[in-house]
Amino acid sequence: MSETNPAAAEVAAPHRYTAAVAAEIEARWQDFWEADGTYAAPNPKGDLAGDPGLVAKPKKFIMDMFPYPSGAGLHVGHPLGYIATDVFARFQRMTGHNVLHTLGFDAFGLPAEQHAVQTGEHPRVTTEAAINNMKSQLRRLGLGHDKRRSFATIDPDYYKWTQWIFVQIFNSWYDDVAKKARPISELVARFESGERAVPGGRSWDALSAAERADVLGEYRLAYASDAPVNWCPGLGTVLANEEVTADGRSERGNFPVFKAKLRQWNMRITAYADRLLDDLNELDWPEAIKLQQRNWIGRSEGARVDFPIDGEAITVFTTRQDTLFGATYMVLAPEHPLVEKFTPAAWPEGTHDVWTGGHATPAEAVAAYRAQAASKSDVERQAEAKDKTGVFTGAFATNPVNGEQIPVFIADYVLMGYGTGAIMAVPAHDTRDFAFARAFELPVRCVVEPSDDRGTDASTWDDAFVSYDAKIVNSHGEDVSLDGLGVTDAKARITEWLARKGIGEGTVNFRLRDWLFSRQRYWGEPFPIVYDEDGIAHSLPESMLPLELPEVEDYSPRTFDPDDADTSPETPLSRNQDWVDVTLDLGDGRGPRPYRRETNTMPNWAGSCWYELRYLDPHNSEKLVDPEIEQYWMGPRAGQPHGGVDLYVGGAEHAVLHLLYARFWSKVLYDLGHISSPEPFHKLYNQGMIQAFVYRDSRGFPVPAAEIEERDGAFFHNGEQVKRELGKMGKSLKNAVTPEAICEEYGADTLRLYEMAMGPLDVSRPWDTRAVVGQYRLLQRLWRNVVDEATGEVTVADAEPDETTLRALHKAIDGVRQDLEGLRFNTAIAKVTELNNHLTKTGAAVPRPVAESLVLLIAPLAPHIAEELWRKLGHTDSVVHQDFPVADPRYVVDETVTCVVQVKGKVKARLEVSPAISDDELEKVALADEKVVAALDGAGIRKVIVRAPKLVNIVPA
Ligand code: ANZ
């Protein structure tokens, strides 16, 4: 056909929809939409340039996880989510909503900085170039963004407010009684008046400024503290856990990484653990993501129990206080601060050889084991399958329920950062304790009755018996017995007993840790913090924000001897003395004074913690966000008790970090009265990934996918057969396909349709360039149903559609509406295709009302061709703001009747047909039926008697 020969097609059909036509149409409408401000979303008060003024419409705030502008640009895998939200946003616009949809850039971060270190080029230069490149790539896709609302997190106008929020967090504390953040000044007032006792027992007046600062530091929601971090002298920076390899070296450069205590900023996210957990229930998020957040927050109910030792106590956290009688030894994390204190000078008489690790003294054993543990990551230390290692400290503690002396070990399977960093070990009922007890020949005592036939003599067991639904045995002391109780009752009884004795209490423990918030980097937001001569931290007043990033000579971190753990990072900002040492009047009544600036920068998560708010009121220089505007777009409403964005689409990899941090900041801002929505994102949706075929040669190296030839199901590169597999799309696997390439060959509308048609949005799918043409053909047939390819004239008929077409149309409308609302874009496209094919098949000119509805149906998916056809159909205003068609229920219900087809008086087929079918049409359908054709077996037809819709009788010749 001429379709396969474009040159011939152009001669025969000069007005056919081709890639060249698509390119012209698309560029023209993109320019028009931009000039016209078609996608501008009005605010309740019109203070954005070009605001069309708010009409009383319900709102929809639709967001993508904004991109990091990488220098490599986009491949076709990247815009999957952006196209999806664009289709959804367009559909919402056409169903009566005021839609806010835009896209900014998350532009601080490591890659640009690495590039700067290597080339000396300012990261702002490369970042801005990458943003511009990405913008033009995205524009080509016809995304309906309100560009007035776009920004990058590196814009000083934006990060002014990131810094301002930091100041709010720094200047507040969490009131456990009211369960909310409050200004720190209220806490100071309570200390001053004596309404609240000052920790340490002294009066507020009696404290020095530095002492007061220390006290407040224990309360502030942003605070500096000495935290153990991954310090890599060879790279000159601290690293995130994810950047450290399993053998304790840096992923980049393979340098040793040490656990070092460095003074760092933290965010007290743990204060919000309960609320972060509880409010998840109201959110419309994928269950898998909610579960990941719940696990990350990790709420455990249990008890703290004191084990006496040398007149003091080691406190453990346990979730199984019901098994206290089975505790036969204790384990402290190697870093536990009490280890030295209780370690005796020599091994006690009769110490088991396997306990000492072959060391002459406990101190030696402890030191050697600590060094070994420090080189391991927490994940490695906790691995179930790993051999249990540890060493005896030489000390014994007392089990408080039975007075037994039990040995105290250190072992790396106990982490300092969880619970109290100390455990009571119950080897009979805990898998890890069991393995450890067997390795160290420690007693194993059964206190939970096994439900299998292993018996209660635990010395013969092969593994631990772990159950929450069993009876407690062997558990009675002088004044307490748990024997015969179930786990829950035993927990309650022992907790009550511990509390009465003053040696324990029921408690809730969270896995969540405070958020380490400083980085020794250049390319991030400077902290709005200065230190006075006493080293006290002060926040900058709003009038001094933004605190802009100073220029520096050298972006590189200072590196050290890779093996020298006793070094500490030197931040790039600290090299600029003029910037660091300043005299400022902070407006606090103390007048101008010398200060030293904080020289760390914020982590690259900071900018994405509140960006949804900036979209609302992007140019506000007076306020974070205007309250009326914030309430309109984000405020709580029916079905959304916590308010928030109506749809947020992004990858599932952001399950915890970004989504948890952003929720935390929202809650603080909400508590302090700056916003009305305690949750940022009401509905979350994770799109799948676009995968791609990778072709590997005989050595296993990827070869360019674009150069592959396929012959009889085998794949060749330069004549050599290669193997095909599925992988990620990208440069490194030589299989990236750019959106430009597809746009050039088919147009942006085809690309959009193809990406949406590939499968359900939340499922990963392999890219197949050869399949793209299918959607191109759909658009060509659509075009042909409206435009004469020879003349370019509109061909639609000013006629009423027949019953069959009405049914096809309204069924499509009904289905497409539901599919678009439910983000089922692939099935929506299938329904549009079906309708379009039906119209093609009728062969007649398409009735105008049907053609118009068809164009409106496809408008969210393929906006350029829809806009063009809409105008060709004689409309003067944009298709973007038309009403989406509404199905007439009369034509949607599937009314069919069964028609019996007889040949020579015998029933040969039953057909399901519309009750409105005409005699002629029914005859055609009957004669085309397979079974009827078979029954006739080539014989001619003498006569056909038709009684539509129920009977067809055929008399063969
Ligand atoms: C005694 C016991 C007996 C325990 C038993 C379990 C089973 P979740 O549920 O995750 O909160 N644990 C406490 N602190 C720890 C630390 N810093 N490092 C490693 N393990 C620690 O886990 C709580 C349980 O994990 C606690 O309850 C404690 O062991 C251990 F049959 O205490 B259990």
Question: Does residue 319 line the site of ligand 1, with CB under 6 A?
Answer: yes
The predicted structure's pLDDT at residue 55: 57
* Whole-number Å distance between alpha carbons of 791 and 73: 40
Nearest CA to ligand 1 atom 2: 320
The predicted structure's pLDDT at residue 294: 96
Residue span of the structural domain in which 916 resides: 894-956
Cα 73-74-75 angle, rounded to 5 deg: 130
State the distance from the centre of ligand 1 to the C-alpha of 375, rounded, in angstroms.
23
Question: Does residue 419 line the site of ligand 1, with CB under 6 A?
Answer: yes
* Whole-number Å distance between alpha carbons of 571 and 579: 13
Domain shared by 319 and 375, yes or no: yes
The predicted structure's pLDDT at residue 50: 60
Residue 407, number of CB atoms within 10 A of its CB: 21
**What DSSP element (H or E) covers 163?**
helix 156-170
Domain shared by 810 and 924, yes or no: no
Quick check: helix, strand or coil at residue 530?
A: strand
- Two tokens at 307? 């084990």
Domain shared by 339 and 483, yes or no: yes
Please tell me the least confidently modeled range out of 76-85, 396-405, 558-567: 558-567
Q: Give me the mean pLDDT over the 608-635 stretch.
A: 96
State the distance from the centre of ligand 1 to the C-alpha of 478, rounded, in angstroms.
26
Overall size of the chain counted in residues:
957
Domain shared by 885 and 922, yes or no: no
Domain shared by 416 and 481, yes or no: yes
Q: Is residue 305 part of a domain?
A: yes
Nearest to 846 by CA among 885, 873, 866, 874: 873
**What DSSP element (H or E) covers 60?**
strand 59-64
Residues in contact with 476: Cβ distance below 8 Å, sequence separation at least 6, in sequence order: 325, 482, 483
State the distance from the centre of ligand 1 to the C-alpha of 331, rounded, in angstroms.
11
Nearest CA to ligand 1 atom 10: 300
Confidence check: pLDDT of 29 > 70: yes
Q: Is residue 202 part of a domain?
A: no
State the distance from the centre of ligand 1 to the C-alpha of 447, rounded, in angstroms.
16
State the distance from the centre of ligand 1 to the C-alpha of 430, rounded, in angstroms.
8
Share of the chain above pLDDT 90, in %: 80
Confidence of residue 49 (pLDDT cuts 50, 70, 90): low
Confidence check: pLDDT of 292 > 90: yes
Residue 106 contacts residue 66 (beta carbons within 8 Å): yes
628-677 pLDDT, tens digit each: 999 999 999 999 999 999 999 999 888 888 999 999 999 999 999 999 99
The predicted structure's pLDDT at residue 6: 54
The predicted structure's pLDDT at residue 552: 87
- Residue 229 carries which DSSP code? E
- Residue 886 is part of a domain; what is its CATH number? 1.10.730.10
Nearest CA to ligand 1 atom 29: 318
Question: Does residue 430 line the site of ligand 1, with CB under 6 A?
Answer: yes
Question: Does residue 414 line the site of ligand 1, with CB under 6 A?
Answer: yes
Residue 32 vs residues 144, 150, 638: alpha-carbon distances, Å: 12, 19, 37
State the distance from the centre of ligand 1 to the C-alpha of 204, rounded, in angstroms.
39
Nearest CA to ligand 1 atom 19: 414
Cα 698-729-692 angle, rounded to 5 deg: 70
The predicted structure's pLDDT at residue 57: 86
Q: Considering 510, 534, 560, which residue would you say is the last residue of a domain?
A: 510
Domain shared by 809 and 882, yes or no: yes
- Residue 911 carries which DSSP code? E
The predicted structure's pLDDT at residue 259: 81
Please tell me the least confidently modeled range out of 71-80, 236-245, 469-478, 681-690: 236-245
Confidence check: pLDDT of 523 > 80: yes
Q: Is residue 189 part of a domain?
A: no
86-116 pLDDT, tens digit each: 999 999 999 999 999 999 999 998 778 888 8
- Two tokens at 625? 């966000």
State the distance from the centre of ligand 1 to the C-alpha of 412, rounded, in angstroms.
13
Phi, psi of 95 (to 5 degrees): -120, 35
DSSP 264-283: EEEE-GGGGHHHHHHGGGGS
State the distance from the centre of ligand 1 to the C-alpha of 455, rounded, in angstroms.
24
Q: Give me the mean pLDDT over the 349-370 stretch.
A: 95
214-268 pLDDT, tens digit each: 999 999 999 999 877 888 888 888 887 767 777 788 887 889 888 888 889 999 9
Nearest to 573 by CA among 547, 536, 592, 537: 547
Question: For ligand 1, what atom is nearest to the CA of residue 429?
Answer: 31
Our mutation pick for probing the ligand 1 site, out of 332, 423, 508, counting the most ligand atoms within 8 A of Cβ, is 423
* Whole-number Å distance between alpha carbons of 139 and 153: 20
450-485 pLDDT, tens digit each: 999 999 999 999 999 999 999 999 999 988 999 999
- Residue 923 is part of a domain; what is its CATH number? 3.10.20.590
Confidence of residue 136 (pLDDT cuts 50, 70, 90): very high
Domain shared by 865 and 915, yes or no: no
Q: Strand runs (DSSP E) across 433-527, as ranges?
A: 504-510, 515-516
State the distance from the centre of ligand 1 to the C-alpha of 302, rounded, in angstroms.
9
Domain shared by 402 and 481, yes or no: yes
Question: For ligand 1, what atom is nearest to the CA of residue 413?
Answer: 19
Q: Is residue 914 part of a domain?
A: yes
Question: For ligand 1, what atom is nearest to the CA of residue 466?
Answer: 31
Residue 828 contacts residue 873 (beta carbons within 8 Å): no
Nearest CA to ligand 1 atom 5: 430
State the distance from the centre of ligand 1 to the C-alpha of 957, rounded, in angstroms.
89
Domain shared by 380 and 483, yes or no: yes
Q: Give me the mean pLDDT over the 37-50 stretch.
A: 80
Q: Strand 581-584 and strand 537-539: pairing?
A: unpaired
* Whole-number Å distance between alpha carbons of 65 and 68: 10
- Residue 332 is part of a domain; what is its CATH number? 3.90.740.10
**What DSSP element (H or E) covers 80?**
helix 80-93
* Whole-number Å distance between alpha carbons of 757 and 750: 10
Q: Give me the mean pLDDT over the 559-569 stretch.
A: 87
User: What predicted TM-score, i.e. pTM, was given to this entire model?
Assistant: 0.86
892-913 pLDDT, tens digit each: 876 788 999 999 999 999 999 9
Q: Is residue 245 part of a domain?
A: no
Domain shared by 384 and 480, yes or no: yes
Confidence of residue 1 (pLDDT cuts 50, 70, 90): very low
Confidence of residue 565 (pLDDT cuts 50, 70, 90): confident
50-68 pLDDT, tens digit each: 665 665 789 999 999 999 9
Q: Considering 461, 493, 510, which residue would you say is the last residue of a domain?
A: 510
The predicted structure's pLDDT at residue 878: 98
Question: Does residue 300 line the site of ligand 1, with CB under 6 A?
Answer: yes
Our mutation pick for probing the ligand 1 site, out of 304, 305, 430, 446, counting the most ligand atoms within 8 A of Cβ, is 430
417-456 pLDDT, tens digit each: 889 999 999 999 999 999 999 999 999 999 999 999 999 9
**How many structural domains compose the chain?**
3
Confidence of residue 751 (pLDDT cuts 50, 70, 90): very high
Question: Does residue 415 line the site of ligand 1, with CB under 6 A?
Answer: yes
Please tell me the least confidently modeled range out of 402-416, 499-513, 908-922: 908-922
Q: Is residue 837 part of a domain?
A: yes
* Whole-number Å distance between alpha carbons of 480 and 501: 11
The predicted structure's pLDDT at residue 650: 96
Domain shared by 926 and 801, yes or no: no
**What DSSP element (H or E) covers 123?**
helix 123-139
Question: Does residue 426 line the site of ligand 1, with CB under 6 A?
Answer: yes
* Whole-number Å distance between alpha carbons of 218 and 268: 10
- Two tokens at 448? 């939970």
Residues in contact with 779: Cβ distance below 8 Å, sequence separation at least 6, in sequence order: 17, 22, 747, 749, 750, 753, 862, 865
Domain shared by 319 and 369, yes or no: yes
Q: Considering 841, 874, 891, which residue would you say is the last residue of a domain?
A: 891
Our mutation pick for probing the ligand 1 site, out of 307, 318, 448, 510, counting the most ligand atoms within 8 A of Cβ, is 318
Question: Does residue 429 line the site of ligand 1, with CB under 6 A?
Answer: yes
DSSP 553-612: S--SPPP--TT--S-----GGGG-HHHHEEEE--SSSS-SEEEEE---B--TTGGGGSHH
Q: Is residue 204 part of a domain?
A: no
- Residue 881 carries which DSSP code? G
Question: For ligand 1, what atom is nearest to the CA of residue 333?
Answer: 17
* Whole-number Å distance between alpha carbons of 161 and 149: 15
Confidence check: pLDDT of 212 > 70: yes
* Whole-number Å distance between alpha carbons of 625 and 887: 40
Mean of pLDDT over the chain: 93
Q: Give me the mean pLDDT over the 528-537 stretch.
A: 97
State the distance from the centre of ligand 1 to the C-alpha of 418, rounded, in angstroms.
9
Sheet holding 391-398, edge to edge: 391-398, 405-410, 329-332, 422-425
Question: Does residue 335 line the site of ligand 1, with CB under 6 A?
Answer: no
The predicted structure's pLDDT at residue 3: 47
